[in-house]
Amino acid sequence: MAETGSRGNEGRGRLAVVVGGGAGIGAATCLALASYGWRVAVADINVEAAKSVAGQCGGDWYPIDIFDAASIEKAAADIEAKSGKIYGCVCAAAVFQDKKPPEDTPIEAFDRVIQGNVRGTYLVNVTFAKRMAANGGGAIVNFSSWSGQFSSPVHGYCSSKAAVNMLTESMAVEWGRSGVRVNAVTPGFVLVDRMVERLRVGGRYSVDLNSISPLNRIPAPSEMGEAVTFLLSDRASAVTGTNLAADAGVMAASAWTVYGGIPGPRAQKT
């Protein structure tokens, strides 16, 4: 179980909702927020997973379906009714895509990715931002992806995350004078269970993923949680409309392979 407030009381007991908090980056974010003194509402379509994470972070759990506007509205209303004013919201729910040529990808699969990641993120932002604005302010963090910055063979997914980037900027301007900040976190590869399994099985990636990172590693889910806690906190009070890369430098190094790759460590002087 996370030690609530073990890193201080930065959250000051304020309430943060994590949509998609039942697993992976979302679950790690719930634990990070609790450790900084936030009260956490874990919202997920997987009720058993939400219950488990809520138990670990000392929070409450709520069912939510990002495809269903009524479900999102009900979750927000239920959270307010039970726990009071919502100050923070994290949209970590996402729909992923198999790596297939577009001619082999059913349009229904493409539509599901776009609807979940774009429409779902939009609905979450509007539903919670309007409540924050009515209550005097708050902060939202959306999860994007480095796939939203560059083309990739997961066509629907990269397109959806590019849209999330622009949606984040638009929402930041829309709600800024109502006291609501809106930012995004952009991971690269992250060692969630799905990624760990892919690396174990092999075959999906043609390079060692550590080799494309200047830090020579793949970040842990907990590091995404740290980025979120910063953006929700008062330390980021002047930050809105920003996309914070938490990718171990993968995007910064994307063109270096053309010039021989990322430099190795410098020799230590004695």
CATH number of 26's domain: 3.40.50.720
The residue to which tokens 């604005």 are assigned: 133
**135 within domain boundaries:** yes
Quote the DSSP letter at residue 177.
G
**8 within domain boundaries:** no
Q: Per the residue annotation, which of 36, 87, 122, 157 is the catalytic one?
A: 157
The residue to which tokens 């929700």 are assigned: 232
Residue 243 identity: N
**If residue 160 lies in a helix (H) or strand (E), which one and from where to where?**
helix 155-175
Dihedral of alpha carbons 98, 103, 104, 109, sign: positive
Say if CB 246 and CB 224 are below 8 A apart: yes
Would you call 87 a catalytic residue per the annotation?
no
**1 within domain boundaries:** no
The range of the structural domain enclosing residue 245 comes to 15-190+221-249
Q: Give the pLDDT of residue 59.
A: 97
**91 within domain boundaries:** yes
**216 within domain boundaries:** no
Q: Give the pLDDT of residue 244.
A: 96
**133 within domain boundaries:** yes
**48 within domain boundaries:** yes
Angle at CA 198, nearest 5°, toward 192 and 200? 100
pTM of the complete model: 0.92
Going by pLDDT thresholds of 50, 70 and 90, the confidence category of residue 204 is: low
Number of domains, the chain: 1
**4 within domain boundaries:** no
Mean predicted confidence (pLDDT) in 215-219: 88
Half-sphere exposure of 9 (CA within 13 A, CB side): 2
Mean predicted confidence (pLDDT) in 131-159: 93
Mean predicted confidence (pLDDT) in 101-117: 94
Q: Give the pLDDT of residue 216.
A: 87
The residue to which tokens 């998609």 are assigned: 20
Whether the pLDDT of residue 4 is over 70: the answer is no
Q: Give the pLDDT of residue 202.
A: 73
